[in-house]
A and B are shown apart, each in its own frame.
Chain A
Amino acid sequence: MKRVLPVLVLSVAGLIPVWRYTPAAPGPSVAQPAPTPSVSTAPGGTTRVVAGPTVDTEKGPVRVEVTLEGDRITAVRMLQQPDHPQTTAAVPVLIEETLQAQSAGVDTVSGATVTSDGYRESLQAALDAQGS
């Protein structure tokens, strides 16, 4: 039972890209191991709402409520969230891709081209030279 709840909370946190647990960091400490309904032994086909314990994260205390259909999570709601910049607005889901290198025809280049040396070697300098 004590193992199940942190795992549940961690998987919920994984669903919502708001909190990031660094792999090296120790697992969240359970501040309030309050008695909650069992998750692993529940019969299938029933809807239950489970409130997790308050977990102290590096950003502040987090408490989630999970709705289960049988053993599937169907909804997650934040009961308590830290007062932190990332949590003040809904976060769009991010698309993850591999880093690519390309050299397509462009009009201009965005990049941290801040020094004159950097500019001389940049694609933007080549584009400027081309047009003049």
Chain B
Amino acid sequence: MRRVEHVMGFPVSLRVDDEGSWESAADALFAWLREVDARFSPFREDSEVSRLDRGEPAPDRISPELAEVLALSERYRADTGGAFDVRLPGRGLDPCAVVKGWSVQKGADLLRAAGARRFCLNAGGDVTAAGGPWRVGVRHPEDAGRLCAVVELTDGAVATSARYERGDHIIDGRTGRPATGLLALTVTAPTLTEADTVATAAFALGRDGVDWAAARPGCEVFAVTADRRVLRTAGFPVAESGQAAA
């Protein structure tokens, strides 16, 4: 079963390879993602995030899910010395970088709870998969039609942050300026919550973010620096035919 829908402003591709009908499980997954968009988008005036930013609900009256997102955001802010920040000065509260990975991972958990064992969920280029091996290509930072690596994923997640599609949109919270030290950075981790947020946070840190992400337990890193060098951890799960010459 395959389905593609546009939610939260990006395409979400689902593939379930288990026998049986997965339409209702897919319905529940996409309904959850649309609910997340309605509640946590900073671009919707009536979202819980926008209302919190305007000071409407008292901070102790926010939903448990938003509290979870804000707690995750704070953890990554502290871990990056402020480079990753969902509350940049002069800008509204924007937890998108945490919400995306967190909500898609929760969506994958819904599929698993419904009995799916072999599936691959790709949300705007960030992937969480189960029951592999799955071959996940890493988009070449300078050529949308090519790959620069192929990852083999059994159960886990892959996320990529890059400048090639939305330009310099990731801000280094330490300087308030766009992060430009890297062209792209890909992280594998057990969950997409971790992979996606670590990829964004490491990208915000620039070249230093490669070491920072590599040191996180469970994370493997593949980075392309601004001067087109590849830096990766030894444990980055490169698939066989994607392996570079030693």
Residues of A bordering B, CB below 8 Å = 17-18, 20, 84-86, 88-116, 118-119, 121-125, 127-128, 131-132
Contacts and interface: CB of A to CB of B under 8 A. Distances in A.
Contact of B150 (A90, A104, A118): A104
A79 B145 CA distance: 49
A99 B184 CA distance: 11
Interface stretch (B26-34, B35-43, B63-71, B119-127): B119-127
B81 to A, nearest CB: 5
B159 interface: yes
Interface string B127-157: 1010000111111110111111111000000
B125 A110 contact: yes
Interface of B: 2, 4, 6, 9-11, 13, 15, 79-81, 83, 120, 122, 124-127, 129, 134-141, 143-151, 158-166, 184, 186, 205, 207-208, 210-212, 214-216, 221, 224, 228-235, 239, 241-242, 244
21 contacts: A85-B79, A85-B208, A86-B208, A89-B216, A94-B231, A97-B229, A98-B244, A102-B242, A104-B147, A104-B239, A104-B242, A105-B135, A110-B186, A111-B144, A112-B161, A112-B163, A115-B165, A116-B11, A118-B165, A127-B13, A128-B13
A125 to B, nearest CB: 7
Contact of A92 (B150, B208, B215, B224): B215
Contact of B147 (A93, A103, A107): A103
Given A20-B207, A102-B242, A105-B135, A131 B2 contact: yes
For B147, B150, B184, B235, the residue with the greatest tally of chain A CB atoms inside 10 Å of its CB is B147
A89 B216 CA distance: 8
Nearest to A85: B81
A128 to B, nearest CB: 5
A107 to B, nearest CB: 5
B122 A106 contact: no
A112 B184 contact: yes
Contacts of B140: 99, 101
B2 A18 contact: no
Contacts of A18: 211
B15 A114 contact: no
A101 B214 contact: no
Nearest to B186: A110
A108 to B, nearest CB: 5
Nearest to B163: A112
Given A91-B214, A110-B138, 6 more contacts: A99-B141, A113-B11, A113-B165, A119-B10, A122-B144, A128-B2
B139 A123 contact: yes
Given A110-B126, A114-B10, A128-B13, A102 B136 contact: no
B15 A95 contact: no
A108 B148 contact: no
A88 B228 CA distance: 27
B211 A118 contact: no
B210 A94 contact: yes
Which 9 pairs show the lowest CB-CB distances between chains A and B?
Answer: A111-B139, A106-B137, A113-B125, A89-B215, A112-B162, A97-B230, A111-B125, A101-B146, A119-B11
